[in-house]
Structure formats: structure tokens, C-alpha cells
Amino acid sequence: MTVADRYPLLHTPARWEWGGLDVQFSTDLPPDELVTNIHVFAFVNDRIVLCRDARDFWIVPGGTREASESIHDCLVRELEEEAGAELSGPIHQFGAHHAISDRPTPYRPWQPHPRKAWLWCTADVVLTGPPTNPADAEQILEVQAFPLKEALHLSATDGPHMPELLTLAVETHQLR
């Protein structure tokens, strides 16, 4: 049975209207130059870190890559900004949402357009303090490390595909 067979909702093509994007998840990793956003399923032992934002959604830390920023540096920055966390182990890339935008210009001038990708990773972290919440970023109200069952329930607030994505992240993380 393939990953797509085990996680059919995750692999169903989708429309992210908020970004004018048609997306498709794949475990095929995109080339570095197409990665515009990086998100990490952060683990504190066997618990998963989720961040409650100002919309009352529980999200995984991550966000938009800055100009000339490496994947590693983006992930480290986003962990600090959104989760008050630091890496305590290696980053493992396990999949991406490959996207095509129908907008006339890229979201940021340095980003590829119209093709781009949202990279999904796992990593072990340590929660070191509150999120830094820069003024120009998502505002995080709460950060917690949850047991899997609770994380699965809460992650659905960020989209119907998120519980399957979280389950795949846990499966991938356990194989390392």
C-alpha cells in the first residue's frame, strides 16, 4: 500500500483560495529554489508542538522563507518566532505541497512564480521560552506539546488534511 493510499485526503489535489493556489501533496521533495514556505512538526519526546494563533487555529510552526534564507535558517527562525523553541536534533524533510499560483505576481518579489512549494519537516526541539511574535508575523497566543491523540484533534483546525499530515509526520519521525 502506497503513502497516497494510506493518506488519501492529504494526497487529494486542493485549492488554497487564500493564496490563489492549486496544490498537490507529494513525498517527492521539491528543488530548493521552489521552496517558499517551511513548516516543522516539532517533537518534544513523544509530544507534538502546536501553536494557537490569533484566529484560534492550532498550527505547526513555520512560515515564509526570506530572500536568500536557507531552509535550515528559516526553520530555526520560525521555531523561535512561533514556538519559542530550539532544535535539539536534525531536520528531516518528508514531503511538500507543490503549488501553482494563479496570481499575476509572486507573494514576495524574490519568490519563484507561478510554481512554488511548501516544505514539511520533522525535528526534535526544546521549548526554551515564549514565541518572539515579531510584529509582521502571525501572532501566537499559546504553545503546547500535546500527546498524539490531542494533537490530531487540534490540528484539524488548520485544515482537514492536517491530521493525515501529522500522522505521516509521526510515522516518518519514528523511522529515523
Domain at 8, CATH number: 3.90.79.10
Distance, in Å, from the CA atom of 59 to the CA atom of 61, rounded to the nearest integer, reads 6
Question: How many Cβ atoms from other residues are within 10 Å of residue 10's Cβ?
Answer: 23
pLDDT at 138: 87
Domain residues for 7? Answer: 3-175
pLDDT at 137: 86
pLDDT at 74: 98
Distance, in Å, from the CA atom of 96 to the CA atom of 107, rounded to the nearest integer, reads 18
Task: For residue 168, give the DSSP letter.
Answer: H
pLDDT tens per residue across all 176 residues of the chain: 899 999 999 999 999 999 999 999 999 999 999 999 999 999 999 999 999 999 999 999 999 999 999 999 999 999 999 999 999 999 999 999 999 999 999 999 999 999 999 999 999 999 999 999 998 888 999 999 999 999 999 999 988 999 999 999 999 998 77
Prediction pTM value? 0.95
9, 164 in Cβ contact below 8 A? yes
Distance, in Å, from the CA atom of 120 to the CA atom of 88, rounded to the nearest integer, reads 18
Number of domains making up the chain:
1
